[in-house]
C-alpha cells in the first residue's frame, strides 16, 4: 500500500523441515497445525462457546473470500461464516419475488430506519431509481436480518465499510444492530496492485463451491488440455465438487483496467481505517520484500509462477519458477500463498482474542 507498511508476521517454525503442498487441501491441514497449532487449539476452544465479528478491509480481489474460506477449512463451517455485502444484495435482488414472502423481508421492513422511505430504497435496489446508490441504512438493516441466521458462528464480514461514510458505521455496527457483544475487529489486507492484476487475468472460479484458483499463480493438481478450444482446463480439487470445471469471469482478461477507480477508493478506506483507535486490527501482508523472504517464510509458502505446456492430446506438464513483483512502493517482492497469509491471520486472531 502506498505510503504505509504493515509489519511482517513470519510463519517459520524452528526445527520444522517438512514441506507441504499448499494447493492440496489434505496437505493444508497438517500445514496449519504445524505452523499455528497452539493458536488453532486455543481458538477452537474459544469457539465452543464464543464468537466474534471481523470486518475485512482491503482492495477488491485482495483475497478476502479465499482467506475466510480457509479459516472455515480450519475451524469448520459450523463455527465460521463469511457474509459478503455484495453477494447478499445481489441474492436478495435476484430472488425478490420469494424474498417478499419471507420472514426476512418482514424483519427488514421493521428494522429499516432512514432518510428515504422503505419503498424508495427498494426502488433503488431494483435499479429503478438511478438518483443515488442504495442507502447505507438499508444495507445495515439487511445485514442485521441476515446475521441473525448465524447465531453461534464467528462472522467474517466482507463489504463494510465500502465507502468513506460507512467507516464510522462499521465501528459501531455491532451495537447499532443490537447484536451479540463478542469481540469485533478489522482485518486489513495490504496487497500490491500488480498482484491483483495477475490474479484477475488468470483467475478461474469453481461454480459450485466458489473457490478461486489461478492458471498462473495457484493451480490445482487436476489440469488438462482441451484440443477443441486449445485452452488449459482446471478442475476444482474439493472432493465435494466432483471435478467441476473452474471458469473465468467475463472481463477478467482486462486485468485491473475496469476497476482501477474502485481500487483507488478501496485504498483510501484502508488508510482511513488503519488510523482508527479503540478497535483491534489484524494486519495481513500478501507480500514480503524479496530480500527478507527467506528469513520469515519457507520457500513453499511463496507464490510460484506455473508454466503450463501441452503433453500429447490432453496431458499437461506443469513447471514452476519463482515469481517476483514490485509492490506499490516499488520494492521487489515475493507474494505469499493464501495459506501462509491465513497462518498470520490465525496467529494475530489468537492475540486479539487474548487467548
The per-residue pLDDT for range 295-354, each reduced to its tens digit, is: 999 999 999 989 899 988 888 999 988 889 999 889 999 999 999 999 999 999 999 999
Cβ pair 165, 136 in contact under 8 A: yes
- Calculate mean pLDDT across residues 156-164: 81
Give the separation between CA 197 and CA 294, rounded to whole angstroms.
25
d(CA 316, CA 235): 13
3-class secondary structure per residue, 302-342: ECEEEEEEEECCCEEEEEEEECEEECCCCCEEEEECHHHHH
Other Cβ atoms within 10 Å of 167 Cβ, number: 17
Contact 215, 227 (CB under 8 A): no
Q: How far is 22 from 35, CA to CA, in rounded Å?
A: 12
Residue 98, all three cell numbers? 420469494
Give the whole-angstrom CA distance, residue 161 versus residue 85: 10
Q: 196-212, pLDDT tens digit by residue?
A: 898 888 889 999 888 88
Q: Which domains can be identified in the chain, with CATH numbers?
A: 25-79+153-352 (3.40.50)
Residue 222 C-alpha cell reads as: 487436476
How much is the mean pLDDT over the chain? Answer: 88
Whole-prediction pTM: 0.83
Q: Is the pLDDT of residue 12 over 90?
A: yes
Q: What is the pLDDT of residues 101-145, one digit of tens each?
A: 999 989 999 988 889 999 999 988 888 544 457 888 898 889 888
d(C-alpha 115, C-alpha 94), whole Å: 25
* pLDDT computed for residue 128 by the predictor: 55
Give the per-residue pLDDT at 336.
Answer: 93
* 221 vs 202: CA distance, rounded Å: 16
Backbone angles phi, psi at 189, to 5 degrees: -115, 125
Cell of 235: 478442475
The helix or strand, by DSSP H or E, that contains position 355, with its residue range, turns out to be: none
Q: What is the pLDDT of residue 277?
A: 84
Residues 38, 43, 272, 303: is their CA dihedral positive or negative?
A: positive
pLDDT tens by residue, 276-303: 888 899 999 999 999 999 999 999 999 9
pLDDT of residue 130: 45
Q: Is 56 helix (H, G, I), strand (E, B) or coil?
A: strand
Amino acid at each position: 500500500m502506498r505510503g504505509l507498511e504493515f509489519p511482517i508476521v513470519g510463519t517459520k517454525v524452528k526445527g520444522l523441515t517438512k514441506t507441504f503442498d499448499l494447493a492440496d487441501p489434505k496437505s493444508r491441514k497438517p500445514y496449519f497445525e504445524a505452523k499455528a497449532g497452539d493458536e488453532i487449539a486455543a481458538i477452537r476452544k474459544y469457539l465452543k462457546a464464543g464468537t466474534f465479528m471481523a470486518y475485512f478491509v482491503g482492495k477488491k480481489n485482495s483475497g478476502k473470500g479465499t482467506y475466510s474460506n480457509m479459516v472455515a477449512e480450519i475451524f469448520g463451517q459450523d463455527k465460521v461464516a463469511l457474509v459478503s455485502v455484495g453477494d447478499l444484495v445481489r441474492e436478495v435482488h435476484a430472488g425478490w419475488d420469494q424474498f417478499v414472502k419471507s420472514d426476512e423481508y418482514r424483519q427488514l421492513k421493521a428494522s429499516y430506519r432512514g432518510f428515504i422511505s422503505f419503498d424508495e430504497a427498494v426502488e433503488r435496489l431494483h435499479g429503478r431509481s438511478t438518483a443515488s446508490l442504495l442507502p447505507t441504512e438499508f444495507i445495515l438493516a439487511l445485514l442485521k436480518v441476515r446475521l441473525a441466521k448465524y447465531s453461534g458462528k464467528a462472522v467474517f464480514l466482507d463489504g463494510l465499510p465500502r465507502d468513506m461514510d460507512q467507516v464510522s458505521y462499521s465501528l459501531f455496527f455491532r451495537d447499532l444492530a443490537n447484536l451479540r457483544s463478542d469481540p469485533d475487529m478489522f482485518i486489513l489486507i495490504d496487497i500490491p496492485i500488480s498482484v491483483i492484476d495477475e490474479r484477475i487475468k488468470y483467475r478461474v472460479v469453481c461454480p459450485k463451491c466458489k473457490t478461486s484458483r489461478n492458471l498462473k499463480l495457484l493451480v490445482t493438481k487436476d489440469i488438462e488440455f482441451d484440443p477443441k478450444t486449445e485452452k488449459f482446463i482446471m478442475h476444482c480439487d474439493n472432493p465435494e465438487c466432483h471435478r467441476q470445471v473452474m471458469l473465468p469471469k467475463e472481463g477478467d482478461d482486462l486485468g485491473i483496467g475496469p476497476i482501477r477507480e474502485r481500487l483507488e477508493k478501496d485504498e483510501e478506506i484502508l488508510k482511513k481505517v488503519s488510523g482508527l483507535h479503540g478497535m483491534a486490527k489484524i494486519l495481513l501482508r500478501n507480500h514480503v520484500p524479496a530480500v527478507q523472504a527467506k528469513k520469515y517464510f519457507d520457500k513453499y509458502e511463496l507464490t510460484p509462477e506455473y508454466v503450463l505446456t501441452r503433453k500429447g492430446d490432453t496431458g499437461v506438464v506443469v513447471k514452476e519458477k519463482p515469481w517476483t513483483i514490485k509492490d506499490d512502493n516499488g520494492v521487489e517482492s515475493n507474494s505469499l500463498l493464501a495459506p501462509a497469509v491465513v497462518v498470520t491471520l490465525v496467529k494475530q486472531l489468537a492475540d486479539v482474542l487474548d487467548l
